[in-house]
Chains A and B, each alone.
Chain A
Amino acid sequence: MAGAKEIRTKIASIKSTQKITGAMQMVAASKMRKAQDRMASSRPYSEKMLQVISHLARATPEYRHSFMAIERPLKRVGYIVVSSDRGLCGGLNSNLFRRLVIDIKEKRAAGAEPAFCTIGTKALGFFKRFGGEVLAQVTHLGDKPHIEDLIGPIKVMLDAFEAGKLDAIYIASNQFINTMTQRPAIQQLVPIVGEEQAEMPHRWDYIYEPDARTVLNGLLTRYIESLVYQAVVENGACEQSARMVAMKSASDNAGNLISELQLVYNKARQAAITQEISEIVSGAAAV
């Protein structure tokens, strides 16, 4: 009966693992809903801001901010890499890093050296192994990221851009398609890629206080911050839904494993009983 006991402890340990993954799945499901709400509520801000910026850009064409300048030849590019702080969320982070490595290779082939700003511990850990120049980092944003925590790292990147040390800044993060699908994506942050809109039907302009330039500067910085914030929040929603899916499949796998082991256990028990009976019968026959 030694085999049966071993199998029983194995089943017990898998059952407790299943309980843990089941609990994590439920926690992730409830967090996911909140993260999705947060994602939706951050949209109006940046949409409104883009509206105002595109109006300003058209109203004062003589002033071009460096963030809106025409593209420079790429010698050095910056990546803001948004990752999760915790693991156990399937291939979410590794898919993103794989996508990023491909992009970096392309940029290197074109003669552009990369520099990074990492958000989240996973990205930081990745660049520690992968190597690469990390200009700024921020970790442990928690489930409710705040824009305050992002201001510093973003400023480092924007300052580098304005000083001419970076020729473009990209943001690498996961896009939330639906609960089952998250897509790693790399988007250009600066120079701002704005779609050229048709001429204004009625020519009008704002009264600026103190002046157009100051207002535009303030708006652009905030706009970029809000884009990064959105990416962070979206990545959070991706993390939770990826974790939910990963934990669900882990629970299912544990269930399959348990039923298989249960079968093996039952067979072993049956065999032991049969053996015992045959021993008793043969013993009785001997007497």
Chain B
Amino acid sequence: MAMTIHVDIVSAEGAIHSGLATMVYATAELGEVGIAPRHTAFISRLKPGDVRVENEQGEQEHFYVSGGMLEVQPHLVTVLADTAIRAANLDEAAALDAKRRAEESLAGQTAQFEYAKAQVELAEAIAQLRAIEKLRKMKG
């Protein structure tokens, strides 16, 4: 029997995958990593991309993660996947949005069209498109 390593892929909203694998590939922040059983302890941030899990039958399973954390111990790989597309400026925009809503709701004003808000939405849409494009390239 081939050597295996346990793989857990979990997100905040639920478990995505759990099982044994002979090899795991992921897009870490400094480049793609391949993790074989008994890999040394390792921790890294993940970039949006594919996580491939090769099981004992040699079949590959693909999971798309929009970022997150990768934790490796000799017999265990854990992918803490983000469910949202994260980037500093997007987070900032979300924070501003939450603030604005609070102010608006307290002042009782109706929302007006705001240039800043439109820009934020545009940035979000672009980031999502980019992630989708990446995914397509990887699959194709």
| 0 or 1 for each of A193-230: is its CB under 8 Å from B? (1 = yes) | 00000000000111111100011001100100110010
Q: Which residues of A contact B13 (CB under 8 A)?
A: 38, 41-42, 146-147, 229
A137 at interface (Cβ–Cβ under 8 A)? Answer: yes
Stretch in A97-105, A153-161, A251-259, A275-283 with 4+ CB within 8 Å of B: A153-161
Complex contact A207–B95 (CB within 8 A) = no
Complex contact B45–A209 (CB within 8 A) = yes
Q: Which residues of B contact A72 (CB under 8 A)?
A: none
* Residue from A45, A137, A159, A219 in contact with B102 in the complex, judged by beta carbons closer than 8 Å: A137
Q: Which residues of B contact A136 (CB under 8 A)?
A: 95, 98-99, 101-102
B2 at interface (Cβ–Cβ under 8 A)? Answer: no
Residue of B nearest to A209 (CB): B44
Q: Which residues of A contact B96 (CB under 8 A)?
A: 152
Complex contact B106–A222 (CB within 8 A) = no
Q: Which residues of B contact A159 (CB under 8 A)?
A: 95
The number of chain A residues with a CB under 8 A from chain B is 44
Q: How far is the CB of B109 from chain A (nearest CB, A)?
A: 13
Complex contact A42–B80 (CB within 8 A) = no
B138 at interface (Cβ–Cβ under 8 A)? Answer: no
Complex contact A156–B78 (CB within 8 A) = no
Interface residues of B in 61-109 (CB under 8 A from A): 69, 71-72, 78, 80, 82-84, 86, 91-99, 101-102, 105-106
Query: How far is A219 from B43 in the complex, measured between Cα atoms in Å?
Result: 11
Query: How far is A251 from B94 in the complex, measured between Cα atoms in Å?
Result: 42
| 0 or 1 for each of A161-199: is its CB under 8 Å from B? (1 = yes) | 000000000000000000000000000000000000000
Residue of A nearest to B82 (CB): A222
Complex contact B80–A152 (CB within 8 A) = no
Complex contact B106–A134 (CB within 8 A) = yes
Q: How far is the CB of B90 from chain A (nearest CB, A)?
A: 8
A138 at interface (Cβ–Cβ under 8 A)? Answer: yes
The listed residue with most A CB atoms (<10 A of its CB), out of B30, B98, B105, is B98
With contacts A52-B43, A205-B41, A209-B43 taken as known, whether A137 is within 8 angstroms of B10 at the C-beta atoms is no
| 0 or 1 for each of A43-64: is its CB under 8 Å from B? (1 = yes) | 0111011001000100000000
A33 at interface (Cβ–Cβ under 8 A)? Answer: no
* Residue from A42, A139, A206, A222 in contact with B42 in the complex, judged by beta carbons closer than 8 Å: A206
Q: How far is the CB of B46 from chain A (nearest CB, A)?
A: 10
Q: Which residues of A contact B42 (CB under 8 A)?
A: 206-207, 209
* Residue from A41, A207, A209 in contact with B29 in the complex, judged by beta carbons closer than 8 Å: A209
Complex contact B105–A45 (CB within 8 A) = no
B60 at interface (Cβ–Cβ under 8 A)? Answer: no
B4 at interface (Cβ–Cβ under 8 A)? Answer: no
The listed residue with most A CB atoms (<10 A of its CB), out of B28, B45, B80, B83, is B80
Residue of B nearest to A217 (CB): B45
Query: How far is A41 from B99 in the complex, measured between Cα atoms in Å?
Result: 30
Complex contact B14–A137 (CB within 8 A) = no
A128 at interface (Cβ–Cβ under 8 A)? Answer: yes
Residues of A within 8 A of B (CB): 38, 41-42, 44-46, 48-49, 52, 56, 117-118, 124, 128, 134-139, 146-148, 151-153, 155-156, 159, 204-210, 214-215, 218-219, 222, 225-226, 229
Q: Can you report 10 A-B residue pairs in the complex whose CB atoms are below 8 A from each other?
A: A45-B10, A49-B80, A136-B102, A139-B101, A147-B83, A151-B95, A206-B43, A209-B28, A210-B45, A214-B45
Task: With A45-B10, A151-B84, A226-B12 given, name 9 new contacts (CB 8 A).
Answer: A42-B12, A42-B14, A49-B80, A134-B106, A147-B84, A151-B94, A207-B41, A214-B45, A225-B12
